[in-house]
Amino acid sequence: MDRVSIEGLAVDAVIGVYEWEQQQTQPLVLDLWLETDFTPAFASDALDDALNYAAIAEQIRGFCEASRYQLLEALAGGVLQLLLDHYPASKVGVRIRKPKAIAPAMAVIECERGRDAFV
């Protein structure tokens, strides 16, 4: 299986369990991956036969910036569901970093799911 990866996608989102976190945006950094078959794009050299990573990045950025989750895990689940609903991937994954979560470290969650995960 082939994989499209988008690394270091910076977004600002309202995320967190504390009241102050629900009052302002915080920076997040996402890495995404989608497993699919590149064979049609190998033959055609056409964007219609590939995953458009610019469009994926914009859709994920918009989703995150409009979201109001408390947990990174819930945001990750929403991102995974969106990717599986809109793109022909057999498996998708996301890593979310929250740089300001715990000083002087960074909180990170990572998960991946296959097409049958949310049925």
Is residue 119 included in any domain, yes or no?
no
**Contact between 27 and 51 (Cβ < 8 Å):** no
pLDDT of residue 104: 83
Residue with tokens 């109001």: 68
Is residue 34 included in any domain, yes or no?
yes
- Reply yes or no on whether 98 is catalytic: yes
Domain count, the chain: 1
State pLDDT tens for residues 65-93: 999 999 999 999 999 999 999 999 999 99
pTM recorded for the entire structure: 0.93
Low-confidence residues of the chain: pLDDT under 70: 119
Per annotation, catalytic residue among 80, 94, 96, 98: 98
- Give percent of the chain above pLDDT 90: 87
Is residue 6 included in any domain, yes or no?
yes
Is residue 77 included in any domain, yes or no?
yes
Dihedral in degrees, nearest 10, Cα atoms 70, 73, 74, 76? 120
Q: Which of 111, 8, 13 is nearest to 62 (CA)?
A: 13
pLDDT of residue 68: 96
Is residue 75 included in any domain, yes or no?
yes
Is residue 71 included in any domain, yes or no?
yes
**Contact between 32 and 58 (Cβ < 8 Å):** no
Is residue 73 included in any domain, yes or no?
yes
pLDDT of residue 119: 60
Q: How many other CB atoms are there within 10 angstroms of residue 119's CB atom?
A: 5
Residue 54 sits in which domain range?
2-114
What CATH number did the domain enclosing 41 receive?
3.30.1130.10
pLDDT of residue 53: 95
Is residue 104 included in any domain, yes or no?
yes
